[in-house]
Amino acid sequence: MDTSNPAVLVNGDLLRSYVGRRVRTVVQVVRPDAGGLTGRSTDEKQIVVKGQMPAPLTTFVEVIGVADSAQSIHAEIVTNFGDTFDTSNFNQLCQLANGDFRHLFI
């Protein structure tokens, strides 16, 4: 059992509160970049992801990594989440997981 290195569930807005910490989020791929991709968070903010990408990319990807600024993540793991994903549910989950129910997660 090891809960020493959790990844905080974040959306675009929450990312700025966790700069320097390990985070996880789901973004919609806007375009691939050199060295990563640009994505749109579930609350419509832009997030730049740097790191190794799976190929080919699906519409949605999950990014787990360290937040290196309020708008970017240095990815450890990027996972294809398919072409359909409920962004509003995920967005609400981020708010709950960082709000009243934070103690269940981190």
Which of 3, 20, 31, 34: binder of another protein (CB under 8 A)?
Answer: 3
- Residue with smaller CB distance to another protein, 46 or 59: 59
**Residues recorded for the chain:** 106
Q: Does 105 interact with another protein (rule: CB under 8 A)? A: yes
Q: Does 30 interact with another protein (rule: CB under 8 A)? A: no
Query: Which residues are within 8 A (CB) of 49 and not within 5 positions of it... i.e. 6 or more apart?
Result: 27, 36, 37, 38, 39, 61, 63, 65, 72, 73, 75, 78
Nearest to 61 by CA among 75, 80, 77, 45: 80
Give me the residues that bind another protein (CB under 8 A), please: 1-3, 6-7, 9, 24, 26, 60, 62, 64, 77, 79, 81-82, 84-86, 89-90, 93, 96-97, 101, 103-106
